[in-house]
Amino acid sequence: MAKEIILYNLAPHVTDEEFLEYVQNEKGPLIDSLESVKKYELVRIDSSLSGVIPFKYVGIVHFNSLEDFRTRDSQSDAYKAFQAKFRPMVSEIHVMFGEEIH
């Protein structure tokens, strides 16, 4: 199964509380509504064995179809509006795609 892994920190002007409200009311429901998405998870990292937390948030998107996401869902007006609002809320973002192997 294809996955998208998104690592990021919040921009300095965004609090964890504001972001949680945004995720619960807007981001989460939108991502979950995409036909190409099987499941969306967001993890807030609270600790690390090394003591270093380079990214506070890890988003994991489990796809039904990565191709449908790329060619249809990510091109929709709703997704583009989401991106326009989301991008200024985060910093140091890294987006990766991969295939589940276990």
Beta carbons of 23 and 50 less than 8 angstroms apart: no
21-27 long-range CB contacts below 8 Å, 24 or more apart?
A: 22/89, 26/82, 26/85, 27/82, 27/86
Q: What domains lie within the chain, and their CATH numbers?
A: 2-99 (3.30.70.100)
Note the pLDDT tens digit of each residue in 5-55: 999 999 999 999 999 999 999 999 999 999 999 999 999 999 999 999 999
Beta carbons of 100 and 3 less than 8 angstroms apart: yes
Q: What is the pTM of this model?
A: 0.92
**Confidence grade of residue 99 (pLDDT, cut at 50, 70, 90):** very high
In angstroms, the CA 58 to CA 67 distance is 22
In this predicted structure, what is the pLDDT of residue 40?
97
* Centroid of chain to Cα 16: 15
In angstroms, the CA 91 to CA 81 distance is 18
User: What six digits make up the tokens of 11?
Assistant: 């921009």
Note the pLDDT tens digit of each residue in 51-81: 999 999 999 999 999 999 999 999 999 999 9
In angstroms, the CA 69 to CA 67 distance is 5
